[in-house]
A and B are shown apart, each in its own frame.
Chain A
Amino acid sequence: QKEVEQDPGPLSVPEGAIVSLNCTYSNSAFQYFMWYRQYSRKGPELLMYTYSSGNKEDGRFTAQVDKSSKYISLFIRDSQPSDSATYLCAMGAGGTSYGKLTFGQGTILTVHP
Protein backbone atom coordinates (compact mmCIF):
# COMPACT_ATOMS: atom_id res chain seq x y z
CA GLN A 1 0.00 0.00 0.00
CA LYS A 2 1.27 3.44 -0.92
CA GLU A 3 1.76 6.06 1.78
CA VAL A 4 -0.35 8.51 -0.21
CA GLU A 5 -3.32 7.46 -2.33
CA GLN A 6 -4.87 9.69 -4.97
CA ASP A 7 -7.43 8.80 -7.60
CA PRO A 8 -5.77 9.52 -10.95
CA GLY A 9 -9.10 10.24 -12.64
CA PRO A 10 -9.30 11.56 -15.28
CA LEU A 11 -11.89 14.09 -14.18
CA SER A 12 -13.82 16.13 -16.75
CA VAL A 13 -16.13 18.99 -15.70
CA PRO A 14 -17.91 21.90 -17.40
CA GLU A 15 -16.69 25.44 -16.90
CA GLY A 16 -18.08 26.95 -13.71
CA ALA A 17 -18.36 23.65 -11.86
CA ILE A 18 -17.05 23.02 -8.37
CA VAL A 19 -14.22 20.50 -8.40
CA SER A 20 -13.26 18.31 -5.46
CA LEU A 21 -9.91 16.52 -5.40
CA ASN A 22 -8.88 14.21 -2.57
CA CYS A 23 -6.02 12.23 -1.10
CA THR A 24 -5.72 9.78 1.75
CA TYR A 25 -2.54 8.89 3.57
CA SER A 26 -1.30 6.36 6.08
CA ASN A 27 1.74 8.02 7.70
CA SER A 28 0.72 9.75 10.96
CA ALA A 29 3.97 11.72 10.94
CA PHE A 30 2.86 13.91 8.04
CA GLN A 31 2.33 17.49 9.21
CA TYR A 32 2.79 19.52 6.05
CA PHE A 33 0.24 19.21 3.26
CA MET A 34 0.48 20.69 -0.18
CA TRP A 35 -1.19 20.72 -3.55
CA TYR A 36 0.95 21.10 -6.62
CA ARG A 37 -0.39 21.84 -10.09
CA GLN A 38 1.30 20.50 -13.20
CA TYR A 39 0.49 21.68 -16.69
CA SER A 40 1.19 19.42 -19.62
CA ARG A 41 4.92 18.98 -20.28
CA LYS A 42 5.86 21.26 -17.39
CA GLY A 43 7.19 20.72 -13.89
CA PRO A 44 4.82 20.86 -10.89
CA GLU A 45 4.28 24.20 -9.14
CA LEU A 46 3.11 24.78 -5.59
CA LEU A 47 -0.56 25.80 -5.49
CA MET A 48 -1.61 25.52 -1.84
CA TYR A 49 0.19 24.84 1.44
CA THR A 50 -1.32 23.90 4.82
CA TYR A 51 0.32 23.04 8.08
CA SER A 52 -1.50 20.49 10.26
CA SER A 53 -5.31 20.36 10.25
CA GLY A 54 -7.73 23.03 9.09
CA ASN A 55 -8.80 24.98 6.05
CA LYS A 56 -7.01 27.48 3.88
CA GLU A 57 -8.56 29.60 1.18
CA ASP A 58 -6.86 31.40 -1.70
CA GLY A 59 -9.18 32.93 -4.26
CA ARG A 60 -11.14 30.13 -5.94
CA PHE A 61 -9.10 27.44 -4.20
CA THR A 62 -9.72 25.93 -0.76
CA ALA A 63 -7.52 23.30 0.86
CA GLN A 64 -8.79 21.18 3.75
CA VAL A 65 -6.87 18.83 6.00
CA ASP A 66 -8.47 16.32 8.38
CA LYS A 67 -5.62 14.62 10.22
CA SER A 68 -7.98 12.48 12.30
CA SER A 69 -9.22 10.83 9.10
CA LYS A 70 -5.89 11.14 7.26
CA TYR A 71 -7.72 12.86 4.42
CA ILE A 72 -6.99 16.05 2.50
CA SER A 73 -9.04 17.85 -0.12
CA LEU A 74 -8.72 20.63 -2.66
CA PHE A 75 -11.81 22.46 -3.85
CA ILE A 76 -11.87 24.63 -6.95
CA ARG A 77 -14.83 26.98 -7.29
CA ASP A 78 -16.01 28.43 -10.60
CA SER A 79 -13.58 26.22 -12.48
CA GLN A 80 -12.01 27.63 -15.65
CA PRO A 81 -10.49 25.96 -18.72
CA SER A 82 -7.15 27.34 -17.51
CA ASP A 83 -7.48 25.07 -14.46
CA SER A 84 -7.04 22.04 -16.73
CA ALA A 85 -3.94 20.33 -15.39
CA THR A 86 -2.75 17.48 -13.21
CA TYR A 87 -3.14 18.12 -9.48
CA LEU A 88 -0.78 16.35 -7.14
CA CYS A 89 -1.13 16.20 -3.39
CA ALA A 90 2.12 16.10 -1.44
CA MET A 91 2.99 15.57 2.21
CA GLY A 92 5.99 16.03 4.46
CA ALA A 93 6.81 14.95 7.99
CA GLY A 94 9.25 17.63 9.06
CA GLY A 95 11.92 17.06 11.66
CA THR A 96 14.96 15.12 10.48
CA SER A 97 13.23 14.34 7.19
CA TYR A 98 12.52 17.99 6.44
CA GLY A 99 12.55 18.60 2.73
CA LYS A 100 11.36 15.18 1.69
CA LEU A 101 7.90 15.14 0.09
CA THR A 102 5.74 12.14 -0.72
CA PHE A 103 3.47 12.79 -3.70
CA GLY A 104 0.17 11.26 -4.71
CA GLN A 105 -0.12 9.91 -8.22
CA GLY A 106 -1.93 13.02 -9.42
CA THR A 107 -5.46 13.63 -10.73
CA ILE A 108 -5.86 14.75 -14.33
CA LEU A 109 -8.49 17.49 -14.55
CA THR A 110 -10.06 18.86 -17.71
CA VAL A 111 -12.43 21.84 -17.58
CA HIS A 112 -14.29 22.21 -20.85
CA PRO A 113 -15.91 25.46 -21.99
Chain B
Amino acid sequence: DAGVIQSPRHEVTEMGQEVTLRCKPISGHDYLFWYRQTMMRGLELLIYFNNNVPIDDSGMPEDRFSAKMPNASFSTLKIQPSEPRDSAVYFCASSLQPGQGTPYEQYFGPGTRLTVT
Protein backbone atom coordinates (compact mmCIF):
# COMPACT_ATOMS: atom_id res chain seq x y z
CA ASP B 1 0.00 0.00 0.00
CA ALA B 2 1.22 3.51 -0.77
CA GLY B 3 0.28 4.82 2.66
CA VAL B 4 -1.64 8.02 3.32
CA ILE B 5 -1.23 10.42 0.43
CA GLN B 6 -1.40 14.18 0.87
CA SER B 7 -1.24 16.97 -1.65
CA PRO B 8 0.21 19.43 -2.15
CA ARG B 9 3.37 18.83 -0.10
CA HIS B 10 4.11 22.55 0.05
CA GLU B 11 1.79 25.49 -0.35
CA VAL B 12 2.67 29.16 -0.27
CA THR B 13 -0.20 31.60 -0.54
CA GLU B 14 -1.10 35.15 0.26
CA MET B 15 -3.33 36.22 3.09
CA GLY B 16 -6.97 36.15 2.09
CA GLN B 17 -6.63 33.38 -0.47
CA GLU B 18 -8.46 30.08 -0.30
CA VAL B 19 -6.36 27.01 0.44
CA THR B 20 -7.44 23.41 -0.16
CA LEU B 21 -5.49 20.49 1.25
CA ARG B 22 -6.17 16.97 0.04
CA CYS B 23 -5.85 13.53 1.56
CA LYS B 24 -6.24 9.95 0.39
CA PRO B 25 -6.37 7.53 3.34
CA ILE B 26 -5.12 3.95 3.31
CA SER B 27 -7.62 1.68 1.61
CA GLY B 28 -9.81 -0.13 4.14
CA HIS B 29 -9.26 2.38 6.92
CA ASP B 30 -12.47 3.72 8.43
CA TYR B 31 -11.12 6.66 10.43
CA LEU B 32 -9.60 9.80 8.98
CA PHE B 33 -7.99 12.57 11.01
CA TRP B 34 -6.77 16.08 10.21
CA TYR B 35 -4.05 17.56 12.44
CA ARG B 36 -2.12 20.80 12.53
CA GLN B 37 1.43 20.96 13.90
CA THR B 38 3.36 24.07 14.98
CA MET B 39 6.35 24.54 17.23
CA MET B 40 4.31 26.56 19.69
CA ARG B 41 1.22 24.36 19.96
CA GLY B 42 2.49 20.92 18.95
CA LEU B 43 0.21 18.45 17.16
CA GLU B 44 -3.46 19.43 17.41
CA LEU B 45 -6.43 17.40 16.23
CA LEU B 46 -8.70 19.53 14.06
CA ILE B 47 -11.42 17.07 13.02
CA TYR B 48 -11.93 13.37 12.50
CA PHE B 49 -14.30 11.21 10.49
CA ASN B 50 -15.58 7.67 10.92
CA ASN B 51 -17.00 6.04 7.80
CA ASN B 52 -17.03 9.45 6.08
CA VAL B 53 -19.10 11.05 8.86
CA PRO B 54 -17.57 13.87 10.93
CA ILE B 55 -17.42 12.75 14.56
CA ASP B 56 -15.65 15.57 16.35
CA ASP B 57 -14.80 18.97 14.89
CA SER B 58 -14.19 20.71 18.21
CA GLY B 59 -10.56 21.33 17.24
CA MET B 60 -11.41 23.37 14.15
CA PRO B 61 -10.12 26.80 15.12
CA GLU B 62 -12.83 28.90 13.52
CA ASP B 63 -15.37 29.12 10.73
CA ARG B 64 -12.65 29.79 8.19
CA PHE B 65 -11.79 26.10 8.39
CA SER B 66 -13.96 23.39 6.87
CA ALA B 67 -13.42 19.71 6.09
CA LYS B 68 -15.27 17.22 3.94
CA MET B 69 -15.07 13.54 3.22
CA PRO B 70 -17.27 12.82 0.20
CA ASN B 71 -16.19 9.17 -0.02
CA ALA B 72 -13.97 6.63 1.72
CA SER B 73 -10.92 7.47 -0.35
CA PHE B 74 -10.80 11.25 -0.30
CA SER B 75 -10.96 14.17 2.11
CA THR B 76 -10.29 17.90 1.91
CA LEU B 77 -9.44 20.58 4.44
CA LYS B 78 -10.24 24.08 3.27
CA ILE B 79 -9.18 27.41 4.74
CA GLN B 80 -11.02 30.47 3.45
CA PRO B 81 -9.79 33.13 3.84
CA SER B 82 -6.28 32.15 4.91
CA GLU B 83 -4.28 34.17 7.46
CA PRO B 84 -0.56 34.20 8.37
CA ARG B 85 -1.33 32.48 11.69
CA ASP B 86 -2.58 29.46 9.73
CA SER B 87 1.01 28.73 8.68
CA ALA B 88 1.78 25.22 9.93
CA VAL B 89 2.25 21.63 8.81
CA TYR B 90 -1.09 19.91 8.26
CA PHE B 91 -1.19 16.15 8.61
CA CYS B 92 -3.80 13.67 7.55
CA ALA B 93 -3.92 10.26 9.23
CA SER B 94 -6.08 7.17 8.96
CA SER B 95 -6.75 4.12 11.12
CA LEU B 96 -8.78 0.93 11.35
CA GLN B 97 -11.95 0.22 13.32
CA PRO B 98 -11.75 -1.08 16.92
CA GLY B 99 -10.79 -4.71 17.02
CA GLN B 100 -8.67 -4.48 13.90
CA GLY B 101 -4.93 -4.04 14.23
CA THR B 102 -3.30 -2.18 17.10
CA PRO B 103 -5.82 0.07 18.86
CA TYR B 104 -5.30 3.72 18.12
CA GLU B 105 -2.53 3.12 15.61
CA GLN B 106 -2.82 6.02 13.23
CA TYR B 107 -0.93 6.12 9.96
CA PHE B 108 0.18 9.61 9.09
CA GLY B 109 0.76 11.12 5.69
CA PRO B 110 3.88 13.18 4.91
CA GLY B 111 2.09 16.43 5.68
CA THR B 112 1.44 19.67 3.79
CA ARG B 113 3.65 22.58 4.77
CA LEU B 114 1.51 25.70 4.48
CA THR B 115 2.94 29.20 4.48
CA VAL B 116 0.60 32.17 4.38
CA THR B 117 2.31 35.49 3.69
- Whether both chains belong to one complex is answered with yes
Which chain B residues border A102 with CB–CB below 8 Å? Answer: 45
Instruction: Compute how far the CA of A32 lies from the CA of B109 in the bound complex, rounded to whole angstroms.
Output: 22
Q: Which of A80-103 contact B (CB under 8 A)?
A: 88, 90, 92, 97-103
Decide yes or no whether B69 CB sits under 8 A from chain A: no
The 8 A CB mask of B96-117 against A (1 = contact, 0 = none) is 0010001111101111000000
Chain B residue numbers with a CB within 8 Å of A98 are: 98
Tell me how many residues of A have a C-beta within 8 Å of chain B: 25
Binds B, one of A11-19, A41-49, A66-74: A41-49
Q: How far is the CB of B2 from chain A (nearest CB, A)?
A: 14
Q: Residues of B contacting A49 with CB < 8 Å? A: 102-105
A46 partner residues in chain B, CB cutoff 8 A: 102, 105-106
- Give the size category of B's interface with A: 20 to 34
Asked, given contacts A49-B102, A49-B104, whether A100 binds B45 with beta carbons under 8 Å apart, the answer is yes
B41, B43, B106, B108: most-surrounded residue (chain A CB, <10 A): B43
CB of A43 to closest CB in B, whole Å: 3
In the complex, whether A62 has a CB less than 8 A from a CB of chain B is: no
* CB <8 Å contact, B108 and A32: no
CB within 8 Å of B: which of A10-32?
32
B49 to A, closest residue via Cβ: A99
Partner of B42 from the list A41, A43, A45, A104 (CB cut-off 8 Å) is A104
| Other-chain contact of A43, B50, B91, B102 (Cβ < 8 Å) | B91
Interface residues of B in 46-104 (CB under 8 A from A): 48, 50, 55-56, 91, 93, 95, 98, 102-104
Given A43-B110, A105-B42, A97-B104 contact (CB < 8 Å):
no
Residues of A within 8 A of B (CB): 6, 8, 32, 34, 41-46, 49, 51, 88, 90, 92, 97-106
Measured CB to CB, the residues of B under 8 A from A are: 4, 31, 33, 41-45, 48, 50, 55-56, 91, 93, 95, 98, 102-106, 108-111
Interface pairs A-B: 3 shortest CB-CB: A43-B108, A105-B42, A103-B43
